[in-house]
Chains A and B, each alone.
Chain A
Amino acid sequence: MLRKGHIFKWYMGVFLVFLYAPAILLPVFAFNDSSIVSFPLKGFTTKWFAVLQTTEALHVAVRNSLMIAVTTALFSTLFGVLAARASTRFAFPARRSIMGFIMLPMVLPEIIIGVSLLVVIIQMGFELSLWSIILGHILICTPFCIAILSSAFMNLDQSLEEASFDLGQTRWNTFWLVIMPLVMPGIVASLLIAFTISLDEFIIAFFLAGTEPTLPVYIWGQLRFPQKLPSLMALGTILLVLSVSLLLVADYFRRRGIRKTGIESKGGFL
């Protein structure tokens, strides 16, 4: 009979295989020298990556997505800083309900957000554009930013601010000299997370995309054409490497922030 610890290890092994199965297959098919995405494998090639370089529509989609992701990251982090600072430092009326409301998009189905924004934009008579996607993305990224930034602001000892004030600094300078340097790692992490989420978001973008596709919308369009699939695998591999590197950078900054404020690191993301 297996000991209990072994059962756990077996379970974790099987679970990790299940979890990583798609992520492992992605590069496998990206380098597979066959125009059909299936087994058996045919041999090694990098031609699918070369195909990406010459696909003009893809480049447009990437540019759109980058523009959206950067703008989203900036705005949702700004909103996140304000909300996280307010909720961790000040007791104001109805704080819990207000915060709950702002965090709501985290549990709301994205289709609801997509649909409701679509309705508003159409009813108001606006045109769908990249900006409509940006608005939707800021809405769903802000709660994630708040979650990250709240822990950064919460780790901030309030007496540091008071000390700065007591030593003769103004509130404005205290913010820039003491608070900002200490929460900066959290801000960097928040920017990166929002950027990554926005870059990969499909459901809202699909509803709100006008004539200009984002990267996931472009991918969705291509999934119908079997001959395009191998180059999509190559694209997916690049995106995966990019996302994971960004996350590693974000996590590095988050940890550095925790070390700086002198609090033990516990757990990981979110």
Chain B
Amino acid sequence: MTRFQKWRRGEGAQGLFLISPTLAFTLLLLAVPLVMVIALSFWTQDYLTLHRTFSLENYQTAWTEPMYQYLMARSLKISMLVTAMTVLLAYPVAYFISFRISPKRKAMWIFLITIPFWTSYLMRIFLWKVILGYNGVINGSLMGLGVIEQPLSFILYNQNAVVLTLAHAWVPFAILPIFVALERVDRSLIEAAEDLGDSKLRRFFRVTLPLSMPGVIAATIIVFIPTIGDYVTPRLVGGPNGLMIANMIELQFKKANDAPLGAALAISAMTIVTCVALIFIWLNKKYIREAK
């Protein structure tokens, strides 16, 4: 047997052979397009003609134009708020299911949590508009109860509504990884912490929370990065002050017809979000190290 024949029979070759169609597809439809978007972001377009010469003009516009700066900062802020709210909402739920529910019923609870997620995405957002609206469910019931006389206006068509709606959309995605991490926490470690004299609260912060951190990090990443790219929620419930960078990207690609600028905005947003996520992961590792 030659060396090549031996290699071909080996595990590595078989695995690569099996994975190659999926890998090729992803390369062709993810890596190649991403590279093209990056290339596009360095080109310029005026009206319908594309100039394929390297230029930083788009990035200059994206980073210096006050409107884009403002949109970017707001998007980042909203994404962070959504992530914080989602994780804070999700953790107690994941904890409850992992620690307070009998093992047989856990799967049912997880299923219960994921059902609303399968309501049509657009409908869900629209229904929040109905709930939060001027004549909506909340205002209607509060006025019916006589708690308020005028409908509350601060709950729709602003950033609060965007944060609430996005948090609702993403909360199942945050619960699942935290739940999985909590399930992996060895229960005897928690008992040991109590046995060694920690109070319930202290043992939570010294044992349970650090051990479930991988789940919290996963949840944060899963929520934070995609949130920056949502343009439907801001459009439906955000009002003029709730628009985000993705709305601008969409606008550039579709109506404004300046795809290179749109590409530069998209790349910039992704870069910023990735950096923030990396900083978060780094801070977290530090926290876990210090908790030890």
A interface, CB within 8 angstroms of B: 5, 8, 11-12, 15-16, 18-23, 25-26, 29, 37-40, 78-80, 82-83, 85-87, 89-93, 95, 98, 101-102, 104-113, 115-120, 122-123, 135-136, 138-139, 142, 196, 200-203, 207, 216, 219-220, 223, 229, 232-233, 235-236, 239-240, 243-244, 247, 251, 255, 265-270
Contact = CB atoms under 8 A, between A and B. Distances in A.
B246 A111 contact: yes
A38 B136 contact: yes
Contact of A223 (B26, B126, B229): B126
Contacts of B127: 21-22, 25-26
A269 B110 contact: yes
* A86, A119, A202 interface centre (most CB from chain B within 10 Å): A119
Interface residues of B, number: 83
B118 A240 contact: yes
B100 A90 contact: no
A29 B109 CA distance: 27
B122 interface: yes
B286 to A, nearest CB: 23
6 contacts: A38-B140, A82-B18, A83-B22, A87-B15, A106-B222, A240-B118
Given A98-B19, A266-B183, 15 more contacts: A12-B96, A15-B93, A26-B119, A38-B135, A80-B22, A87-B19, A90-B14, A109-B229, A115-B253, A117-B29, A119-B263, A135-B29, A220-B232, A223-B122, A244-B118
Contacts of B276: none
B216 interface: no
A48 to B, nearest CB: 13
B118 A203 contact: no
A104 B248 CA distance: 24
B270 A90 contact: no
- For the complex of A and B, list the 6 residue pairs with the smallest distance between their C-beta atoms, beginning with the closest: A109-B229, A90-B15, A92-B15, A268-B110, A116-B33, A86-B18
A86 B15 contact: yes
B33 A120 contact: yes
B130 interface: yes
A255 B227 CA distance: 32
Interface in B122-142: 122-124, 126-128, 130-131, 133, 135-137, 140-141
Given A18-B168, A90-B11, A120 B32 contact: yes
Contacts of B30: 101, 104-105, 113, 116, 139
